Amino acid sequence: MTENRGYHAHVYYDAATKPKAAKLREAMLAQFKCEPGAFSDAPIGPHPISQFNITFETPQFQDIVPWLMFNRDGLDVLVHPLSESSYDDHSKNALWLGTPVPMKLDVLRPKYSDHLLPSSQRGA
């Protein structure tokens, strides 16, 4: 069995939808136990367009993902686990809400850096 150390939800936006993304981010932080990532207005890592991520622990999945289904306000969202394979997590293990964004999978490292994990899982 693969160990899952949490999840990322990546919310994609452009210049016109950034205010919606900011509102969604604030709502998530107010409502859920999660850790915010910074807004990336330029491509970063495997993400070819602007996005921010929210990191959350496995028990939060059942609350956060259904909430995102109904409250994402038309934004595209990638939800993926944080397992041993960042490649698999961003591809075959990914869950999309909205339209999938083509990932640049060739830039992924095999393992996650500690700062990308939930704080309770760092150094674990």
Residues 6+ apart with CB under 8 A from 41: 18, 50
**Digit-coded pLDDT (tens) for 28-63:** 999 999 999 999 999 998 999 999 999 999 999 999
Structure tokens at 43: 């491509």
Higher pLDDT, 70 or 114: 70
pTM: 0.88
Q: What's the CATH code, domain 7-105?
A: 3.30.70.1240
Domain residue limits, the chain: 7-105
Buried b (16+ CB within 10 A) or exposed e, 51-71: bbbbbbbeebbeebbeebeee
Q: Check pLDDT > 80 for residue 116.
A: no
